[in-house]
Amino acid sequence: MRRFLVKEVHPCIHASAHLCVRRNDHAPRGNPQCRRELSFIMQVLIIGSGFVGRCLAVRLASEGHDATLASRHRPAGLAPELAWLGLDAADRDAFAAVLHRLRPDAIVLVHGPSDISLCEYSPDEAMCSHAVIARNACRLAPHAYKLLVSTDNVFDGRQESYAEDAPPLPANAYGRAKLAAEQVLSQCSGDFLIARTSLVYGWEEADRGWINFFALALRRLAAGDILEVPDALWNTPIFVEDAAAIYTRCIEQSVMGILHVAGPQRISRLDWARLLADEYELDASLIRPIAADASRYFCRPRNSCLSSHHLPALLSAWPNVQCRSPAQAAVHMKPLLHGHLPINKE
Ligand SMILES: NC(=O)c1ccc[n+]([C@@H]2O[C@H](COP(=O)([O-])OP(=O)(O)OC[C@H]3O[C@@H](n4cnc5c(N)ncnc54)[C@H](OP(=O)(O)O)[C@@H]3O)[C@@H](O)[C@H]2O)c1
């Protein structure tokens, strides 16, 4: 027996050539702006229990869905209320056994390898992991909706920004591996969404070797350490809670096609670091510009920036889903980081 959730949905959500949002035509009509939609409580299997996957699991659970995280190792500090199972999703038989057990309505591919610099040193491993896991998901679960969290690194970054209809042309091994996974899904017969996502940021513990730029910058500056910042890298970063909320609505409404999921502002890493120093009253003189080419950022596109033909309309149709600028997210996070950072001292 399936259980239902009741959600507010805007009536003008529509299908287009690149993006398709399923309408629930049997839903009762509400006021002129919104109608209420009955939506299943979904069983969602999240392949990848890292920074993004875990935040998505929290959001899905908070919306009443059954989310299960899967990865090869149990992540340190995993909240006890989150369901997790051990799985190497590249292992076809093991993946099949998990699918047989869970019978998910939706599968989210949000696994590693995610370190762009490490992928450059191990391109075969990156290609194998991303393409093979996508192929396994398509072949083993043809009827499940699939959401692939892809990347702006499928573009070479010569342009300031890229919308959904721009032709991909990756300039690094990570981008080529993620594009290969996209192509697997595109040839898959079932329903899927390729959610190309820009740099995802938020607070995180340093348990995966490296941490996102927001957390790194605040940790370094708060500790009084030098923060080296690549001088010519631009991003459209998205706050992790906002990305998780957007993915959740996409899963509930089976949004299909290609969607660019990025923050509303194109910002350089230097300006972002200075913004954080200013907001959190930290010493901006610790911020040191360095040449991106001579740093661990050597293989990053100059512009890791996305725009979207579709996201603004979806956001305006989805109550309780927002997409904050770096300044808005910094303000939002400030009271939550008491105890983590020496900020707001009298
Ligand atoms: N973070 C971003 O800014 C960002 C932006 C755009 C796109 N993305 C995409 O989002 C995905 C996740 O990013 P993230 O930042 O959350 O990465 P992350 O923190 O490094 O997490 C990656 C997760 O994948 C798991 N994993 C790796 N290989 C696996 C396998 N064979 N089977 C099952 N699980 C496996 C890892 O656990 P084990 O090693 O224990 O298996 C880990 O839990 C990546 O694919 C990345 O391309 C991220």
pLDDT tens for residues 214-262? Answer: 999 999 999 999 999 998 899 999 999 999 999 999 999 999 999 999 9
Tell me, what's the pLDDT at 55?
Answer: 97
Tell me, what's the pLDDT at 167?
Answer: 98
Report the C-alpha dihedral over residues 201, 49, 310, 238, rounded to 10 degrees.
0
Q: Quick check: CB of 301 below 6 Å from ligand 1?
A: no
Tell me, what's the pLDDT at 192?
Answer: 97
Q: Quick check: CB of 243 below 6 Å from ligand 1?
A: no
Six token digits for residue 113: 């390898």
- What's the count of helices (H) and strands (E) in the chain, helices before strands? 10, 17
Q: Quick check: CB of 60 below 6 Å from ligand 1?
A: no
Taking residues 290-312, what's their average pLDDT?
91
* Gap from CA of 115 to ligand 1 centroid (Å): 9
* Gap from CA of 11 to ligand 1 centroid (Å): 35
Q: At what angle do helices 326-333 and 269-279 cross, to 10 degrees?
A: 30
Task: Provide the β-strand partners of residue 304.
Answer: 235
What is the secondary structure of 104-121 as a DSSP string? -SEEEE--S---HHHHHH
The yes or no reply on domain 4-204+238-264+305-323 and CATH 3.40.50.720 is: yes
pLDDT at 35 over 60: no
Taking residues 58-70, what's their average pLDDT?
97
Q: Which residues of 64-90 are buried (b: 16+ CB within 10 A; e: fewer)?
A: ebbbbbbbeeebeeeeeebebeebbbb
Q: At what angle do helices 240-252 and 51-62 cross, to 10 degrees?
A: 60
pLDDT at 82 over 80: yes
Confidence class for position 296, pLDDT limits 50, 70, 90: confident
pLDDT at 199 over 50: yes
* Gap from CA of 101 to ligand 1 centroid (Å): 23
pLDDT at 115 over 70: yes
Summary mean pLDDT of the chain: 89
pLDDT at 13 over 60: no
Spans of all domains in the chain: 4-204+238-264+305-323
Taking residues 284-312, what's their average pLDDT?
93
Nearest-atom number in ligand 1 for the CA of 197 is: 6
Lowest mean pLDDT among 15-19, 101-105, 183-187, 322-326: 15-19
Confidence class for position 21, pLDDT limits 50, 70, 90: low
Tell me, what's the pLDDT at 80?
Answer: 93
Rounded Cα gap, residues 113 and 177, in angstroms: 10
* Gap from CA of 47 to ligand 1 centroid (Å): 8
Q: Quick check: CB of 126 below 6 Å from ligand 1?
A: no
pLDDT at 15 over 60: no
Are residues 87 and 75 in contact, defined by beta-carbon separation less than 8 angstroms? no
Confidence class for position 208, pLDDT limits 50, 70, 90: low
Lowest mean pLDDT among 198-207, 260-269, 299-308: 198-207
Taking residues 151-179, what's their average pLDDT?
97
Confidence class for position 332, pLDDT limits 50, 70, 90: very high
Six token digits for residue 38: 């009955």
Higher pLDDT pick, 231 / 26:
231
pLDDT at 24 over 90: no
pLDDT at 309 over 60: yes
pLDDT at 120 over 90: yes
